[in-house]
Amino acid sequence: LVRRFKLNERINFNIRAEAFNLFNQTTFLFDPAGSTTTLPVVVNGSNQAVFSAPNFGLIDRSLPARRIQLVARFEF
């Protein structure tokens, strides 16, 4: 949401409300970046990949909860 106030011909003042994860839905994250790309992978005779890392596909954290911020800006 944005509200603009004209103070005079050349100067504006804006107030903005920004929201991230507004509906507060949980977004799960998997292993840290890079850990799934360096896994030792063994392909057996049946064309199935076997990942030998014990934490492969483990959900270990989530993105932050709802965040709302207010922004004020002068334009001249």
**Are residues 1 and 17 in contact, defined by beta-carbon separation less than 8 angstroms?**
yes
Task: Supply the DSSP symbol for 9.
Answer: S
pLDDT of residue 76: 92
Q: How far apart are CA 13 and CA 11, in angstroms?
A: 7
How far apart, in Å, are the Cα atoms of 25 and each of 3, 6, 22? 27, 37, 8
In DSSP terms, 17 is beta-bridged to: 70
Whole-structure pTM value: 0.52
Q: What is the pLDDT of residues 17-65, one digit of tens each?
A: 999 999 998 888 876 554 544 445 555 555 555 566 676 677 778 888 8
